[in-house]
Structure 1
C-alpha cells in the first residue's frame, strides 16, 4: 500500500511540474482588440518565459494573408519583434505558434484595428 501511495504522489508531483512548465503569452503589441489611430510598424509578442517563436501569420479583414517576412527563431527568448509592411485602415488578425523548452507547442491569436484619427478611439 505504501508503494502505491509513493507512486501516486510522484505522479501528481510530475503532472504539477509539467503544467507549471508551460509558458504562456504575457502581452502583445498591439494589444488584443486594440484600436490604433496610427498603423504599427511592428508586432511585439512577449511570453512569460523563453520560447522559440515558430510561426506568425497575419491576415487582413478580407482574410488575405499579408507578407510579414517572419522567420522562425532558433534561439529561445521572452520577447519578439516582427516587422510589418505599411498597413491601411482596417482590422487585422495575427496568429502565432511557439515552442517552450519542454517541446510543448502553444498557439494563439489576437486582433487589432487601424482606424482613422477622427474616429475617437484612444486605446
Structure 2
C-alpha cells in the first residue's frame, strides 16, 4: 500500500514539474528558417502567464528589449512587434510569472535568410 501511495505522489509531483514549462508554440516556430523578417512574434503558452520581460538578440551581437505594450495581464497568447535587424539568427528570451505564482523563463530562436 505504501508503494502505491509513493508512486502516486511521485506521479503528481512529476506532472507539477512539467507544468512549469508553459511555452507551447511560437510563430515563427522554434529553430525555423524564414525568408522574410516577421512583423510580429506570436508566443502561445499552455496556461496563463504574465510576461515581465522579453528580449531579442540578433546574431549574438545586438540585443534589445521588446515592447510588451499593454500585454501585461495574464494570458495564454502574446503577439509582440518585431524590429528588423537584418538576416541571421534571432534568439528570443522571455521571463514571466505563471498564474500559480512561479517564475518562468525560456528561449526560442529562428533564422531569417
Q: TM-score, normalised by structure 2?
A: 0.78
2:82 is the counterpart of 1:92: no
Q: Secondary structure at the match of 1:65?
A: strand
Alignment match of 1:42 (pick from 40, 43, 67): 40
Larger relative strand fraction: 2
- Bigger Rg, which one: 1
Is there any run of 5+ residues in structure 2 with no aligned partner, and where?
none
Structure 1 length normalisation: TM-score?
Answer: 0.72
Whether 2:53 is the aligned partner of 1:55: answer yes
| CA shift for structure 1 position 23 | 5.5
For the structure 1 residues 58 and 26, does the alpha-carbon distance in structure 2 shift closer, same or farther, using more than 3 Å as the test? same
- Residue correspondences, number: 107
The more displaced of 63-72 and 94-103 is 63-72
| Runs ≥4 residues deviating over 6 A | none
